[in-house]
Structure 1
């Protein structure tokens, strides 16, 4: 049987207010046994504490710190354009889980592992990413944006895959595998606790949704044993 029948994935754009609203309404209407979000423990704690890394602090961590800082600034810039801070849809999921009194699981890959992989990217992709990242710090507004933010995001993911094949594998495909494995482990855990038909709502980035759904749909029950998710009540 497919694990997808136990998991409802919400694909969000991390800077879209509509995504936040969808997360809240879906979780409250579905009333799942558990909620899972695309965060690891380090990013979860940083978000809860509203802690932001400055450029000076990031440089102390070397290459990985600088990469993390640039990626954060990219999302921050997008948040300004769409009227929402990055991570608001994750905060909404946390709040909805607390409202229902159901467990919350953190299913994403460890950020330090992700940053180490990015640091090992081919020189061509590093250079291209650095050049494109420079535009984030320039006082130039985004123009010609389509009203359909989600459609634009899908196009952006296709372009990203073509321009950055290594980074796409690291940032999208490998994380899909980690999150799918963790969702399967959560379902198995709930079944072991006596829940006959577990229902899990997972909040992930829009670019991760199709890949995770494919992995869940093709996996046979109890095919995965190990997991790396964190649990928060």
Structure 2
């Protein structure tokens, strides 16, 4: 079955005010039967409670905590560049789902599993990311193309070239997880008697093409359940 006919993917830049506004307007306009976001339970709770990990916190959690801290700092840097804190578009999706009274689904892979995979990254990639996060150099920073979305796509291509293992873990494998969870949402709506279910999914721009390809072919490998 072609699941893409039932799912509208909004590809966002996690640090773009334009994405935040687009998400809210689109959900109110589409009035879907369900809204899905690129979050897992831990990140959803952290966002709601505004939990922010400090360096000392990350050190107490060991290697996984340090990796999480480094990734958060990279996102903060991007947020400064584009004038918005990471996650605002996800908050907009949550607010819009509540406004129209439809279920909200958390479709991303568990952050603990993601961090465990990252900890097994090749030494070269971990060292390069550490240097970039410390501002020693930042080869994946945005270039002045003029269109922020084009700049973001360029950054994704650079990330894939420089970090093939991390790209697979952070993008391709999560595409499979999120696509499968979206299929489960559609199947649940159909089983509940909804003849033409409509789901709006809010994910990072880099995930949009991959998830759409999987939904279009209508199958994926067993990965995880909706959190």
In 2, Cα distance between equivalents of 1:11 and 1:224: 23
Shifted more, 65-74 versus 36-45: the winner is: 65-74
Q: Does 1:133 align with 2:122?
A: no
- Relative distance call for 1:71 and 1:29 in structure 2 (3 A) is same
Shift of 1:201: 0.1
Q: Which string of whole-angstrom CA distances, capped at 9 and with x for unpartnered residues, describes residues 87-122 of structure 1? A: 000000000000000000000000000000000001
Aligned to 1:205: 204
Shift of 1:74: 1.1
Using structure 1 for the length normalisation, give the TM-score: 0.92
Shift of 1:147: 3.1
- Relative distance call for 1:198 and 1:226 in structure 2 (3 A) is farther
Aligned to 2:89: 89
Aligned to 1:219: 218
Secondary structure in 2 matching 1:10? strand
Aligned to 1:187: 186
| Uncovered stretches (5+) of structure 2, i.e. residues with no partner | none
Aligned to 2:148: 149
For 1:37-48, what aligned pairs fall within 5 Å after superposition?
Answer: 37-48=37-48
Secondary structure in 2 matching 1:135? coil
- Relative distance call for 1:13 and 1:194 in structure 2 (3 A) is same
Aligned to 2:32: 32
Q: Which string of whole-angstrom CA distances, capped at 9 and with x for unpartnered residues, describes residues 168-203 of structure 1? A: 000000000000000000000011111111100000
- Relative distance call for 1:172 and 1:226 in structure 2 (3 A) is closer
Aligned to 2:162: 163
| Uncovered stretches (5+) of structure 1, i.e. residues with no partner | none
Shift of 1:80: 1.7
Shift of 1:14: 0.2
For 1:29-68, what aligned pairs fall within 5 Å after superposition?
Answer: 29-68=29-68
User: Which 4+ runs in 1 deviate beyond 2 A?
Assistant: 142-147, 223-227
- Relative distance call for 1:226 and 1:133 in structure 2 (3 A) is closer
Aligned 8 A contact 2:176 2:223 in 1:
no
Shift of 1:134: 1.2
Secondary structure in 1 matching 2:70? helix
Shift of 1:146: 3.6
Aligned to 2:123: 123
In 1, Cα distance between equivalents of 2:101 and 2:5: 22
In 2, Cα distance between equivalents of 1:18 and 1:188: 32
Shift of 1:144: 5.8
Shifted more, 74-83 versus 30-39: the winner is: 74-83
Secondary structure in 1 matching 2:85? coil
Shift of 1:129: 1.2
In 2, Cα distance between equivalents of 1:137 and 1:55: 20
Aligned to 1:22: 22
Q: 2:225 aligns with which of 221, 224, 228?
A: 228
